[in-house]
């Protein structure tokens, strides 16, 4: 037989024996094509629509403030939603889907007429939602500055002519550009600080790293099973529960070390490389509970994969592909706010999304246990359910 033909035939036989690995070459890119195409369709469509929704609150109620609203509404980059002032503005930004809230304070119209109120020097207030990126923030401020600048110019033109009928000069009223009070709907560690890219990216990849531990976990579990380690331990009265805990507890500690190291990298390493430092907002106790709940969910999934997979290749494919798909769906690789509504509903089914929402609730929004209670319950329930399922599968296999 020709050596080249024999070599090709040998490789084809190896591929036939590893159908799972062969399927991975086709399934993984197909899954990414579907997820990325559906998740990003609204982002690319936004070039023909608005980038973000803006909550606009008019406390002034004068013709000048209404003119400002109309000017902002003409800007296609933003969708202006007018309504009365909510009881809790920052809470409305956290839960209402708005990227900004603009407040036109009382006295705005009078200031354009040359009658400013010294008690209210800042007549415009912009509050930025926690998950709004800096690029969109700058575009919003530029659009607001353009609208107020145009209004000021028109008002100055309206004061012409500058002489009375007898030829004496008339000093036009002083019209200054309104100052903008900028605030953020989250609790910064330092006054005046704004949410940075590291504040949003560290939680995402922290959750991904915790779930990615399923690959070494499942592989060592299967290798011990193939070598007969589990049977030998059973002969010396080391039952399945003890064996499971003996594997889960070390990996749980590994997860907690991951959390500490990645948070420390965001706080100390990123600034050394020229980035902004991670700010640890929120309750430290809630952070500990959340990291434990995410680890429980990840290890439950890892154990379920380990007991159901027959070979290490199957476990690697299931763990790796599962982690990547859950990350793509759960807002790790693609922020949920750029996804269409249908994809956001699917993303909320991913345990990685629950973990990410919890970390963002603490690090960006300065929350406590009560603010992430829903995520804690879902993660704990998922971990308990997967651990229970793994136990039942293991008992059935015996």
| CATH label of the domain that carries residue 94 | 3.40.1710.10
DSSP one-letter code for 167 = S
pLDDT at 176 over 50: yes
DSSP one-letter code for 237 = T
Contact 254, 164 (CB under 8 A): no
Range name among 4-13, 23-32, 112-121, 314-323 with the lowest pLDDT average: 23-32
Strand 78-82 relative to strand 179-184: parallel, antiparallel, unpaired?
unpaired
15 in a structural domain? no
209 in a structural domain? yes
Q: Which of 122, 155, 184 is the last residue of a domain?
A: 184
318 in a structural domain? yes
37 plus 55 within the same structural domain: no
Query: Which one, of 397, 369, 183, lies nearest residue 304 by Cα?
Result: 397
> Beta-strand (E) ranges in 105-192?
122-128, 179-184
254 plus 152 within the same structural domain: no
Supply the pLDDT for residue 194.
Answer: 47
pLDDT in tens, 356-390: 989 988 887 777 898 899 999 999 999 999 999 99
Q: Kindly report each contact of residues 317-323 with a partner whose C-beta sits within 8 Å and lies 24 or more positions away, as own/partner.
A: 317/20, 317/21, 317/23, 317/24, 318/218, 319/212, 319/214, 319/215, 319/217, 319/218, 320/215, 321/24, 321/27, 321/28, 321/31, 322/214, 323/208, 323/211, 323/212, 323/214, 323/215
Supply the pLDDT for residue 9.
Answer: 64
Domain coverage including residue 116: 51-184
236 plus 289 within the same structural domain: yes
Contact 62, 112 (CB under 8 A): no
358 plus 230 within the same structural domain: yes
d(CA 96, CA 131): 12
253 plus 138 within the same structural domain: no
Confidence of residue 191 (pLDDT cuts 50, 70, 90): very low
Q: Which of 184, 206, 222 is the last residue of a domain?
A: 184
Contact 219, 316 (CB under 8 A): yes
User: Domain total for the chain?
Assistant: 2
Range name among 5-14, 89-98, 232-241, 287-296 with the lowest pLDDT average: 5-14
d(CA 393, CA 398): 9
List % helix, strand, coil for the chain (3-state, nearest 5).
65, 10, 30
What is the model's pTM? 0.66
189 in a structural domain? no
223 plus 362 within the same structural domain: yes
16 in a structural domain? no
Confidence of residue 81 (pLDDT cuts 50, 70, 90): confident
Range name among 9-13, 80-84, 269-273 with the lowest pLDDT average: 9-13
d(CA 396, CA 388): 12
Instruction: Report angle CA 78, 80, 85 to the nearest 5 degrees.
Output: 135
d(CA 262, CA 256): 10
72 plus 97 within the same structural domain: yes
1 in a structural domain? no
2 in a structural domain? no
Query: Which one, of 129, 203, 202, lies nearest residue 352 by Cα?
Result: 203
pLDDT at 291 over 80: yes
228 plus 366 within the same structural domain: yes
Q: Which of 134, 159, 184 is the last residue of a domain?
A: 184
140 plus 240 within the same structural domain: no
Cα→Cα distances 396→202, 242, 248, 308, 318, Å: 40, 18, 20, 11, 21
135 plus 234 within the same structural domain: no
176 plus 81 within the same structural domain: yes
- What average pLDDT does range 108-136 have in this prediction? 74
11 in a structural domain? no
170 plus 202 within the same structural domain: no
- What average pLDDT does range 173-190 have in this prediction? 65
Helix (H, G, I), strand (E, B) or coil at 5: helix
Q: Which two tokens mark 52?
A: 């973000």
């Amino acid at each position: 037989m020709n050596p080249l033909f024999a070599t090709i035939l040998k490789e084809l036989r190896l591929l036939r024996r590893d159908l799972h690995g062969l399927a991975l070459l086709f399934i993984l890119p197909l899954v990414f094509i579907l997820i990325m195409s559906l998740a990003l369709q609204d982002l690319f469509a936004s070039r023909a629509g608005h980038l973000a929704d803006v909550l606009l609150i008019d406390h002034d109620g004068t013709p000048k403030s209404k003119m400002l609203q109309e000017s902002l509404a003409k800007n296609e980059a933003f969708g202006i939603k007018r309504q009365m002032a909510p009881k809790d503005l920052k809470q409305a930004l956290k839960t209402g889907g708005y990227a900004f809230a603009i407040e036109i304070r009382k006295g705005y119209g009078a200031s354009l007429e040359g009658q400013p109120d010294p008690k209210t020097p800042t007549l415009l207030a912009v509050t930025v939602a926690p998950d709004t990126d800096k690029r969109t923030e700058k575009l919003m401020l530029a659009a607001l500055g353009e609208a107020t600048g145009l209004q000021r110019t028109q008002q100055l033109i309206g004061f012409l002519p500058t002489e009375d009928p007898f030829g004496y000069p008339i000093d036009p009223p002083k019209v200054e550009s309104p100052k903008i009070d900028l605030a953020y709907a989250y609790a910064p560690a330092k006054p005046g600080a704004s949410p940075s890219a590291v504040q949003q990216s560290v939680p995402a990849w922290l959750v991904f790293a915790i779930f990615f531990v399923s690959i070494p976990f499942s592989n060592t579990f299967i290798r011990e099973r193939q070598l007969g380690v589990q049977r030998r331990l059973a002969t010396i009265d080391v039952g399945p529960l003890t064996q499971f805990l003996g594997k889960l507890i070390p990996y749980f500690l590994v997860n907690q070390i991951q959390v500490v190291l990645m948070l420390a990298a965001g706080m100390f390493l990123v600034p050394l490389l020229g980035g902004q430092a991670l700010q640890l907002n929120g309750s430290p106790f809630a952070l500990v509970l959340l990291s434990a709940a995410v680890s429980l969910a990840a290890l439950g999934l890892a154990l379920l994969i380990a007991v159901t997979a027959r070979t290490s290749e199957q476990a690697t494919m299931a763990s790796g592909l599962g982690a990547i798909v859950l990350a793509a769906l759960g807002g790790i690789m693609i922020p949920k706010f750029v996804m269409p509504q249908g994809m956001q509903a699917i993303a909320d089914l991913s345990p990685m999304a629950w973990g990410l929402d919890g970390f963002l609730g603490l690090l960006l929004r300065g929350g406590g246990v009560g603010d992430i209670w829903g995520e804690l319950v879902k993660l704990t329930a998922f971990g308990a359910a997967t651990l229970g399922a793994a136990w039942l599968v293991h008992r059935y296999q015996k």
